Amino acid sequence: MTDLATAPATGRPRQIVAAARALLEAEGPEALTMRRLADRVGVTAPSLYKHFPDKSSVVEALADEMLRETAGVLEAAEAAAPGSFSALATAYRAYALAHPHLYLLTMGRPLPAAGPAAAASAPLFRAAGGDEDRARAAWAFAHGMVVLELNGRFPPGADLSAAWEAGVAAFTPGPAG
């Protein structure tokens, strides 16, 4: 199986993943088939199997890419506002809303504890003061809100910004006193 972390930054595996992402982001997960992907890359479907043994390995490469990008987005938010759950949550939501199909594809599957998933969770863990339970609860809030928003599960007219801000406030430490 080709691991995008060890695959060359250029070349056919990178081209396949880029084409898979473009197809996914433009048309959704149902459009992501090996035949459609081969057409987009300009090869026959069997040629794809020289680089990725099956569709799930392409999905794994896409998930790794999304998690690496999320880690970068969260690290940038952390650098701009150290220790701010609000900054992290805002960056997380913005990324997810900008890449809904990639986000849902990645987050709808088991995530490994190491690698890109660990890097993506590190800023939140630090913002939670190293408290794993608080970090998990904060992520559950942010992830749950994003998934509900992406799937249109809030009633018409619901003030998502107010709900988002209330959740962020619940995980933002108050003034020491």
For residue 156, tell me if it sits in a domain: yes
Say how many domains are in the chain. 1
For residue 76, tell me if it sits in a domain: yes
Instruction: Read off the pLDDT band of 166 (50, 70, 90).
Output: very high
Mean pLDDT, residues 66-83 taken together: 96
Check pLDDT > 80 for residue 175: no
For residue 137, tell me if it sits in a domain: yes
Neighbours of 53 (CB within 10 A): 12
For residue 7, tell me if it sits in a domain: no
- Its domain, for residue 62, covers 12-170
- Percent of the chain surpassing pLDDT 70: 92
For the segment 123-145, what is each residue's pLDDT rounded down to a tens digit? Answer: 999 999 999 999 999 999 999 99
For residue 39, tell me if it sits in a domain: yes
For the segment 90-117, what is each residue's pLDDT rounded down to a tens digit? Answer: 999 999 999 999 999 999 988 887 889 9
CATH number assigned to the domain comprising residue 115: 1.10.357.10
For residue 6, tell me if it sits in a domain: no
